[in-house]
Amino acid sequence: MSRVRADEEEYWHSSKFRAFTFDDEDDELSQLKESKQAVNSLRDIVDDDDDDLERVSWSGEPVGSISWSIKETASGSTSSLDGRDSSLQKGSSSYAALPKQASSYSLSSLFKGERFLCATQLCLSLSALTDTGVKNYAPELRRPKAEYKDYSSDWSPKDTVRRMQRGKVCSLERFRSLQDKLVLLDEAVAGHDGNVITAVLIFLKRTLRREILFRELEVRQVALCHLIHFLRETGEQKFLLDLLRFLDRTEEVALSQYREHLNIQDVEKRREFLKGCIGLPFSAEDTSHIQDHYTLLERQIIIEANDRHLETAGQSELFRKYPRKASILNMPLVTTLFYSCFYHYTEAEGMFSSPTNLKKTFKIPDKQYVLTALAARAKLRAWGDVDALLTTKNWLGYTKKKAPIGFHRVVEILQRNNAPVQVLQEYVRLVEDVETRLNLATKYKCHDVVIETYRDLKDRIQLIAYKCKVERGSADEEKINSILNNMVRNAY
Question: In the structure, what pLDDT confidence band is assigned to residue 449 with cuts at 50, 70 and 90?
Answer: very high
**DSSP codes of every residue in 223-257:** HHHHHHHHHHHHT-HHHHHHHHHHTT-HHHHHHHH
Residue 319 has pLDDT above 50, yes or no: yes
Query: Mean per-residue pLDDT for 71-82?
Result: 48
The 10 Å Cβ neighbour count of residue 164 is 22
Q: What is the mean pLDDT of the chain?
A: 77
Residue 66 has pLDDT above 60, yes or no: no
Mapped onto helix, strand or coil, the DSSP state of residue 151 is coil
Q: Give the closest residue to 107 by CA, choosing from 43, 45, 37.
A: 45
Given this model, what pLDDT does residue 92 score?
A: 41
Using alpha carbons, list the distances in angstroms from residue 310 to 246, 300, 317, 324. 53, 15, 10, 11
CA terminus-to-terminus distance, the chain: 153
Judge whether 76 and 121 are in contact, CB under 8 Å. yes
Residue 258 has pLDDT above 80, yes or no: yes
Question: In the structure, what pLDDT confidence band is assigned to residue 424 with cuts at 50, 70 and 90?
Answer: very high
Given this model, what pLDDT does residue 48 score?
A: 45
Choice between 93 and 358, residue whose per-residue pLDDT is larger:
358
Query: Mean per-residue pLDDT for 100-110?
Result: 43
Judge whether 223 and 191 are in contact, CB under 8 Å. no
Residue 100 has pLDDT above 70, yes or no: no
Question: In the structure, what pLDDT confidence band is assigned to residue 9 with cuts at 50, 70 and 90?
Answer: low
Q: Give the closest residue to 445 by CA, choosing from 418, 469, 414.
A: 469
Given this model, what pLDDT does residue 12 score?
A: 57
Sorted by where each begins, the domain ranges of the chain are 153-248, 381-445, 447-491
pTM of the predicted structure, to 2 decimals: 0.60
Percent of the chain scored above 90 by pLDDT?
42
Per-residue pLDDT tens digits for 10-20: 655 555 555 44
Given this model, what pLDDT does residue 367 score?
A: 94
Residue 303 CB contacts under 8 Å (≥ 6 apart), including other chains: 328, 336, 339, 340, 352, 353
Mapped onto helix, strand or coil, the DSSP state of residue 288 is helix
Give the highest mean pLDDT range of 98-102, 282-286, 393-397, 450-454. Answer: 450-454
Judge whether 103 and 76 are in contact, CB under 8 Å. yes
* Dihedral over Cα of 231, 236, 239, 241: its sign: positive
Question: In the structure, what pLDDT confidence band is assigned to residue 252 with cuts at 50, 70 and 90?
Answer: confident
Mapped onto helix, strand or coil, the DSSP state of residue 432 is coil
Question: In the structure, what pLDDT confidence band is assigned to residue 486 with cuts at 50, 70 and 90?
Answer: confident
Tell me the one-letter amino acid at 345: Y
Judge whether 403 and 370 are in contact, CB under 8 Å. yes
Residue 84 has pLDDT above 70, yes or no: no
Tell me the one-letter amino acid at 195: N
Residue 263 has pLDDT above 80, yes or no: yes
Judge whether 83 and 58 are in contact, CB under 8 Å. no
Q: Give the closest residue to 321 by CA, choosing from 381, 271, 397.
A: 381
Judge whether 372 and 338 are in contact, CB under 8 Å. yes
Q: How far apart are CA 450 and CA 464, in angstroms?
A: 12
Q: How far apart are CA 59 and CA 307, in angstroms?
A: 82
Percent of the chain scored above 70 by pLDDT?
68
Pairing type for strands 399-401 and 391-393 reads antiparallel
